[in-house]
């Protein structure tokens, strides 16, 4: 193999933390925005299954954001995406997931597999000397992990920052401090960050935190300085996934995409298009009818926040019913499935009628109902993915199949059900289509299709 083609180098960094909620996304966005403003081409990835952080990371970098996960997306997929990014980028940023060593696989596993230096972000708002202990532990807990330093977040004052820096055993690990400020806080709700396009000042927030980062040692790194993070990326063992050639050729798939249905992996869209599908987008909130299509995809999102509008759009409800009556396929996952049931009861106890294409009701709750990596066997293969939801559903429909835990993990309960009614298939399960393109294609084909 020609090593000049198979290997390429690019500065890269994994932004990690000791736990969730420390400010990883804020710092990753700030770093991406800062270097993008300086004219560098920045590519950002998100470690693990996540739909919301990539909206902000895309806004900050100006480029699509894909997921990296050694199990869900696969090691070869990760290698290929990093290799491709390194060929065109001046800087690669990977945002970690949860704490650095949390999960199977963890962000640390990804960093170690690809030789990514780790930047630790620590919320230091309520600590002083313990900051140094945390930094030391993150750096030395696992042998062989490359460490690029530590950044203190939500710091109270310059004096506080001084105490934090002094607590480090190795002063060279200090990358600076971001002060506590409401001007660049990224707001959250029950499923994660509020999406960037819901805020009129999203880019202003990113510019504010990028300006703050520019005052730190981390933010003052030049193009030459970034070479200290240079990583050699080897091409994956395959140039791409085994996409069934033409499996969806000539098929038009309507994809719901608006504030209520927004949990879309960019790679899932790429997968469908690679199999020949033409994608058309519509808004169940605003449109009165489906666009002309052969199949329908209802991704996850926040139907509970828009239940009254969705249920009140009688024209769209009728159009959806006509699609199903015509026997055209529907794949609905999580929020998309929730909207198909008879009604949704929100956390305030209010019940809202929905589309009534699946019998049963959905009830929102304040506690998390399910979370974790899972896989689902369907016609054509096994799809990898995950589940994450705050609702439960009660239905008389039998489960056509159920998800299984990812290897090395255990399920609490029976796994997520796959429901089928007529041409509709639905589940709380979020699928990563490229894990089995043949199985993904079958979701959008009639059972009678070859």
Segment 208-230 mean pLDDT:
96
Q: What is the pLDDT of residues 13-56, one digit of tens each?
A: 999 999 999 999 999 999 999 999 999 999 999 998 888 889 89
Which of these three, 234, 261, 286, is where a domain ends?
234
Q: What is the pLDDT of residue 200?
A: 59
The two tokens of residue 379 are 């016609």
Residue positions counted in the chain: 450
Give the residue-averaged pLDDT of 189-214.
72
The residue ranking higher by pLDDT, 176 or 449, is 176
Distance CA 444, CA 252 (A): 10
In a domain, 58, yes or no: yes
The active-site residue, picked from 29, 271, 334, 393, is: 334
Q: What CATH number should be reported for the domain holding residue 385? A: 3.40.50.880
pLDDT of residue 3: 44
The pLDDT score that the predictor gives to residue 413 is: 74
pLDDT in tens, 92-122: 999 999 999 998 899 999 999 999 999 999 9
Residues 97 and 160 in one domain: yes
- Considering the domain architecture, whether residues 37 and 148 belong to the same structural domain is answered as yes
Read off the CATH number of the domain in which 14 is found: 3.40.50.300
Q: Is pLDDT at 198 greater than 90 in this prediction?
A: no
Split at pLDDT 50, 70, 90, the class of 215 is: very high
DSSP string, 323-349: HHHTT--EEEETHHHHHHSSEEE-TTS
What is the model's pLDDT at position 303? 95
The predicted-structure confidence for 141-164, as pLDDT tens digits, reads as follows: 999 999 999 999 999 999 999 999
pLDDT of residue 188: 52
Please confirm whether the linkage preceding 105 is cis (ω < 30° from 0): yes
Going by pLDDT thresholds of 50, 70 and 90, the confidence category of residue 1 is very low
Residue pLDDT, tens place only, 4-24: 458 899 999 999 999 999 999
Of the three residues 202, 234, 266, the one that is the final residue of a domain is 234
Is the model's pLDDT at 433 over the cut of 60?
Answer: yes
- Strand, coil or helix: what is 114? helix
What does the pLDDT average to over 400-424? 89
CB neighbour burial string for 107-128, b if at least 16 within 10 angstroms, e if fewer: bbbbbbebebbbbbbbbbeebe
**Residue 334 falls in the annotated catalytic set:** yes
Residue 243 lies in a domain: no
Task: Check whether residue 163 and residue 285 sit in a common domain.
Answer: no
In a domain, 246, yes or no: no
* Amino acid 412: pLDDT: 75
| Residue 247 belongs to some domain of the structure | no
Total Cβ atoms within 10 A of residue 151: 30
User: Residue 303: inside a domain, yes or no?
Assistant: yes
pLDDT (average), residues 206-215? 95
Q: Residue 419 contacts by C-beta under 8 Å, 6 or more apart in sequence?
A: 337, 358, 395, 397, 399, 400, 425, 426, 427
Asked if pLDDT for residue 166 goes beyond 90, the answer is yes
Burial class (CB in 10 A: 0-12, 13-18, 19+), 292: exposed
Write out pLDDT tens, residues 346-376.
999 999 999 999 999 999 998 887 788 999 9
**Domain end marker among 208, 234, 260:** 234
Question: pLDDT grade, residue 384 (50/70/90)?
Answer: very high
pLDDT band at 339 (very low <50, low <70, confident <90, very high): very high
pLDDT in tens, 65-88: 999 999 999 999 999 999 999 999
* Claim to verify: residue 208 and residue 335 sit in the same structural domain: no
Average pLDDT over residues 214-242: 86
Among residues 81, 220, 87, 88, which one has the least CA distance to residue 149? 220
Number of domains in the chain: 2
Residue 91 placed within a domain: yes
- Within this chain, do residues 327 and 380 fall inside the same structural domain, yes or no? yes
- pLDDT at residue 82 in the model: 97
Tell me what pLDDT residue 242 has. 72
Q: Is the pLDDT of residue 173 over 70?
A: yes
**Domain membership flag for residue 241:** no
Q: Are 86 and 183 in a shared domain?
A: yes
256 and 230 housed in the same domain: no
pLDDT at 406: 87
Based on the fold, state whether residues 260 and 225 are members of the same structural domain.
Answer: no
Is the pTM of the predicted complex or chain greater than 0.95?
no
Check residue 207 and give left, alpha or beta (phi > 0: left; psi -120 to 50: alpha).
Answer: alpha
**Mean pLDDT score across all residues of the chain:** 92
Which domain, by its residues, includes 283?
A: 252-442
Task: Output the CA torsion sign for 20, 23, 27, 28.
Answer: positive
Q: Residues 226, 373: one domain?
A: no
Q: Are 223 and 306 in a shared domain? A: no
Residues 229 and 260 both lie in one domain: no
Q: How much of the chain exceeds pLDDT 70, in percent?
A: 93
73: number of CA atoms within 13 Å, CB side? 27
Q: What is the pLDDT of residue 187?
A: 59
Q: Is residue 230 part of a domain?
A: yes
User: For residue 192, is pLDDT > 80?
Assistant: no
Regarding whether 129 and 28 lie in a shared domain, the answer is yes
């Amino acid at each position: 193999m020609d090593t000049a083609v198979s290997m390429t180098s690019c500065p890269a960094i994994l932004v990690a933390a000791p736990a969730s909620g420390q400010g990883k996304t804020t710092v990753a966005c700030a770093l991406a925005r800062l270097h993008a403003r300086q004219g560098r081409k920045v590519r950002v990835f998100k470690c693990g299954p996540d739909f919301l952080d990539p909206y902000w990371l895309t806004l900050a970098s100006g480029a699509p954001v894909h997921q990296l996960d050694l199990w869900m997306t696969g090691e070869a997929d990760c290698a290929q995406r990093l290799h491709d990014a390194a060929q065109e980028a001046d800087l690669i940023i990977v945002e970690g997931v949860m704490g650095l060593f949390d999960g199977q696989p963890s962000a640390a596993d990804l960093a170690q597999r690809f030789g990514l230096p780790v930047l630790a972000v620590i919320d230091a708002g309520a600590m002083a000397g313990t900051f140094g202990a945390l930094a030391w532990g993150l750096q030395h807990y696992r042998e062989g992990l490359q460490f690029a330093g530590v950044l203190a977040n939500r710091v109270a004052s310059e004096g506080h920052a001084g105490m934090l820096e002094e607590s480090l055993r190795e002063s060279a690990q200090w990358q600076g401090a971001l002060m506590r400020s409401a001007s660049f806080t990224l707001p959250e709700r029950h499923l994660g960050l509020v999406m960037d396009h819901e805020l009129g000042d999203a880019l202003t927030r990113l510019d504010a935190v990028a300006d703050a980062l520019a005052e730190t040692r981390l933010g003052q790194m030049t193009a030459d300085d970034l070479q200290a993070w240079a990583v050699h990326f080897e091409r994956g063992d395959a140039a791409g996934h085994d996409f069934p050639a033409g499996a969806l050729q000539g098929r038009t798939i309507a994809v719901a995409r608006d504030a209520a249905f927004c949990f879309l992996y960019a790679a899932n869209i790429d997968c469908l298009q690679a199999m020949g599908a033409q994608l058309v987008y519509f808004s169940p909130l605003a449109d009165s009818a489906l666009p002309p299509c052969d199949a329908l995809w209802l991704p996850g999102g926040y139907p509970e926040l828009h239940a009254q509008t969705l249920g009140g759009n009688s024209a769209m409800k009728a159009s959806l019913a006509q699609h199903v009556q015509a026997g055209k396929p529907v794949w609905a996952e999580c929020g998309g499935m929730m909207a198909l049931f008879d009604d949704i009861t929100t956390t305030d106890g209010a019940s809202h009628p929905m589309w009534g294409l699946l019998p049963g009701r959905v009830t929102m709750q304040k506690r998390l109902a399910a979370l974790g990596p899972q896989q689902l066997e369907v016609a054509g293969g096994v799809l990898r993915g995950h589940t994450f939801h705050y609702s439960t559903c009660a239905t008389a429909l039998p489960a056509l199949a159920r998800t299984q835990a990812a290897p090395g993990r255990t399920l609490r309960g029976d796994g997520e059900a796959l429901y089928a009614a007529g041409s509709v298939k639905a589940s709380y399960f979020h699928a990563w289509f490229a894990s089995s393109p043949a199985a993904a294609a079958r979701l959008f084909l009639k059972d009678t299709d070859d």
